[in-house]
Structure 1
Amino acid sequence: MGLNEAPLLFNFEVESSEDLTYIPMAVRFNLDRFGLRVSLAQWQMLPYEDRKLLARFPVEDDTAIEPNFDHALFEMLRTHANVEPEWFTPEETPAWRRVDAVPDGVVHQADLASLHAPSADQWARLDPFKRYVLAKLSRKLESNHDFVPAMKEFGLAG
C-alpha cells in the first residue's frame, strides 16, 4: 500500500488544522498504532512538506501494510528538531475497534453536544478510521469543538 496522493484530511479538519499547523487525525492514527507520541511543538518544527508527507500515509489498521511511517517520522524529527518521538505501548483492543458497542466517551460527547449518540448499528457500519476519529475526539470529559462537525461529516448528525 503506497502513500495517498494528497494529505488525508476530513472537511472538519481543513479549517481547524490551519494548513497542517495542528496534527491531523491521519497522523494521530498512525502515531497511535505505532505507539509514538510527538508534541505539538515538535510537530510544528517539521517543515510543511514533511508534515504533508506524514499526512499522506495510509490509515489501515495493520502496521505491516505501511511500516515506514515510524522511520520517516524519526528521521524528520532528528533532522529538523534534534529529538525523537516518545514511545508507548498501544492498546491491544481500543474501544474504536469494537463494533458491538459505542464507546462511553462517544456517548458522553454526543450528550454534551445535545446530539443522539450513534446507534450500535450505525457505529458498526462506520469505517474503522471514522470510529477511531470519533473515539479520539471523545477521550476527554469536556466538549471537543471538532466532535459535532465530525458527526455531521460522517452522516451521524443533521
Structure 2
Amino acid sequence: MGLNEAPLLFNFEVASSENLTFIPMSVRFNLDRFGLRISLAQWQMLPHEDRALLARFPVEEDAAIEPNFDHALFEMLRTHANVEPEWFTPEETPAWRNAEAVPDGVVHQSLVARLRAPTPEQWARLNPFQRYVLAKLSRKPEGNHDFIPAMTEFGIAASGHDLR
C-alpha cells in the first residue's frame, strides 16, 4: 500500500491542526505504531512539505504495510532539526484495538464532555483508526477540545450533543 494522495486529516482536525502546525492524528498513529516520540517543537522544525508527506502515510495496523514512515521521519529530523525521535515500546494490546469494549478513558471523556459514551455496538462499528483517535483524545482526565467534534464526525454524537 502506498502513500495517500493528500494528508489524511479528519474534518475536525482541519482547523485544529492549523495547516499542519500541530501533529495530526494520522502521524500520531504512526508514531505510536512504530514506538517513536517527537516533540511539537521538533515537528514544527520540519518544512511544511515534509509534515504533509508524513501525514500521507497509511494508517493501517499492520506495520509491514508501509515500513518507511520511521525511516522518513528519522531522515527529515536529522536534516532539518539535527535530532532523532525518542524510542519507546508500543503497547502490545492497546484498549482501542478491542472492538468489543469501550475503553474507560473514552467513557470518562464522554462524561466530561457531557456526551453519552459510545455503546459497544457503536464502538464496534468504528474502524480501528477511529477507535485509536477517540482513545488518544481520551488519554488525559481533563476535557479535550477535539473529542466532541470527533464523536460527531464519527456519527456517535449528534450536533446537539449534551446529556440533559
Q: Using structure 2 for the length normalisation, give the TM-score.
A: 0.96
After superposition, residues 3-152 of structure 1 pair within 5 angstroms as 3-152=3-152
Amino acid corresponding to residue 147 of structure 1 in structure 2: F
* Separation (CA, whole Å) in 1 of partners of 2:86 and 2:124: 32
Q: Which runs of 4+ in 1 moved over 2 A?
A: none
* Separation (CA, whole Å) in 2 of partners of 1:69 and 1:150: 25
State the number of aligned residues: 158
* Separation (CA, whole Å) in 1 of partners of 2:2 and 2:50: 16
For structure 1, list consecutive stretches of 5 or more residues without a partner in the other structure.
none
Q: CA deviation at 1:106?
A: 0.3
Matched with 1:157 is 157
* 3-state SS in 2 of match to 1:43: helix
* 3-state SS in 1 of match to 2:9: coil
* Separation (CA, whole Å) in 2 of partners of 1:125 and 1:152: 14
Q: CA deviation at 1:137?
A: 0.1
Q: Using structure 1 for the length normalisation, give the TM-score.
A: 1.00
Matched with 2:162 is none
* Separation (CA, whole Å) in 1 of partners of 2:110 and 2:67: 35
* Separation (CA, whole Å) in 1 of partners of 2:99 and 2:157: 19
* 3-state SS in 2 of match to 1:156: coil
For structure 2, list consecutive stretches of 5 or more residues without a partner in the other structure.
159-164
Per-residue CA deviations over 1:25-70 (Å, capped at 9, x if unaligned) read 0000000000000000000000000000000000000100000000
